[in-house]
Structure 1
Amino acid sequence: MRLRLDKFLANKAFGSRKEVYHLIKQGLVMVDGVVASKKDMSIQIPEQTITVNGELVDSRQTYYVKLNKPAGYVCAVEDARHPTVMELLPPDFLTMGVVPVGRLDKDTEGLLLLSNDGVWAHKIINGKKHIPKTYYIEYAGELSEEGIGRITEGILLGDGTQCKPASLEIVEPGKAHIVIEEGKYHQVKRMIGAAGGEVTYLKRLTVGPITLKGLENLGDFADISAEDMEKL
């Protein structure tokens, strides 16, 4: 891929085009070990190596990322009232157009995917690929046998929302795992509510083959492995 040097560095969050130009004028930008002299020079990515002040610039243009989302953050690029998940990530994620793939509620923790590949993201969230998503739930109250049966058969919520069949495993009283293939508004909370419980804690554990492995702490993030990408 051919790009202008200043556009490439601006996209990688090294500042505005004007600020990037100043970096180049100061001799801080090198292309394949040679000091760059022109802001509009054409570079070939990823074949060529770009450094700024001696630090290698990540040349990738497409991002596929997983994040262990903490509670309290909204799944948005910007929000006037609440911190966003983008604030947990390096600045180039934002300038490169990375956005959450689907969403988790503000008070929900766990696995969130992000990408700037819109086609890939649509395949993940539109429900047609039947990608299972596993959640760990803690809830108050007691789930009725009839309610559990409705969840596993495909529950119809009070507002007329039809959910696909889901699997529900009671781990111990007040704790469960649920696997769904959709991502409707507050879906897990509403399903559990319709079965007689009230969700007090919710964490997403998996999206298809992708897990929280390697993301031991809330706020940790990593690239999605090529192996997991192939399985999706």
Structure 2
Amino acid sequence: MRLDKFLSHMGLGSRKEVKTFLKKEKIEINGIQIKDGKVSVDENNDIVTLNGEVLYYESEFYYLLHKPQGVISATEDRQHRTVLDLLKAEDYREDLFPVGRLDKDTTGLLLITNDGKLSHELLSPKKHVSKRYYATISGIVTAEDKRVFSEGMLISGGEKCLPGHLEIEGIDLDLNQSYVRVTISEGKYHQVKRMFEALGKQVLTLHRETMGPLVLEEALKIGTYRKLTEKELLKLKTYRRA
């Protein structure tokens, strides 16, 4: 590929910006300094260095983000902070996007990538990728609610939800609240909230813990992110969906 495209893919700027970058910085291909972005580079075999440091080519990027409240799952917004605004300057790329959405007030696991094919696989309604949430519910969740979840249910708008798994983790009679874990295999708009609304209850807090084989570990602080490990990426790409 062209050198300017290679450098752009490495997050060093747009192709236009890379032209200026080539004039200011020392870029070498196999030990020869290059200032022309049109020069071809074999990204798999040539050794490209920036000021003496080797640039290892990556075309696809995968980040696991611990989304905080108040941040929206979008690539840009004029009024609100987005999940991409949480990325460090050296990790930001214009082609990155969140896989699916978490509501503004929902926290937890969010995958950010530029791999459109994988995103489609994970979001396709036919794939039934499971997602687990921890939630605080206003109202007392019952064994009957668990049964309704397990059989599938109708929510607002007459939409039919596939069977889900509901576990009651705790009950606070004084506060009239329940603490639950919910596993669903769809991604309907505000689905978990609408499922509990159909049962006459309200979701107070919602936190996503898993998505397919990905698990949000406690050590990853809210508002921070990390690259997926090779093991996680392999599991994600070979995930056996229903």
| TM-score > 0.5, shorter chain as reference | yes
Matched residue, 2:101: 103
When the two structures are superposed, what TM-score results if normalisation uses the length of structure 1?
Answer: 0.88
Q: Which amino acid aligns with 2:224?
A: D
Match of 1:73 among 71, 74, 84: 71
CA distance in 2, matches of 1:147, 1:138: 15
Task: State the partner residue of 2:203.
Answer: 199
Q: Is the 8 A contact 2:9 2:59 kept in 1?
A: no
Match of 1:135 in 2: 133
Change (3 A) 1:64 1:27: closer
Q: Which amino acid aligns with 1:156?
A: L
Counterparts of 1:168 and 1:208 in 2: how far apart (Å)? 17
Within 5 Å, give how 1:83-232 maps onto structure 2: 83-91=81-89, 95=93, 97-173=95-171, 174-213=178-217, 216-231=220-235, 232=239
**Deviation per residue, 1:24-68 (Å, 9 max, x gap):** 223522334442232211112143343334454452001222111
Identical aligned pairs, as a percentage? Answer: 38
Determine the C-alpha separation between the residues in 1 that align with 2:69 and 2:182.
Answer: 19
Mapping of residues 23-38 of structure 1, within 5 Å: 23-38=21-36
Q: Is the 8 A contact 1:27 1:35 kept in 2?
A: no
Q: Residues 215 and 117 (structure 1 numbering): CA distance in 2 closer, same or farther, change over 3 Å? A: farther
Structure 1: 5+ residue runs without aligned partners? none
Count of residues in correspondence between the two structures: 230
Residue matched to 2:42:
44
CA deviations on 1:77-128 (whole Å, 9 max, x unpaired) are 1112211111112456653512111111011111011222222111101132
Alignment partner of 1:10 is 2:8? yes
Q: CA RMSD in A?
A: 2.2
- Whole-Å Cα distance in 1 between the matches of residues 136 and 218 of structure 2? 24
CA distance in 1, matches of 2:156, 2:25: 64
Q: Which moved more, 1:204-213 or 1:222-231?
A: 222-231
CA distance in 2, matches of 1:228, 1:137: 25
CA distance in 1, matches of 2:233, 2:7: 27
Task: Quickly say closer, same or farther: Cα 1:108–1:59, change in 2 above 3 A.
Answer: same
Contact 2:6 2:43 in 1 (8 A): no
**Matched residues in 2 for 1:72 and 1:33: separation?**
48
Q: Note closer, same or farther for the CA distance 1:55–1:196 as it changes in structure 2 (3 Å cut).
A: farther
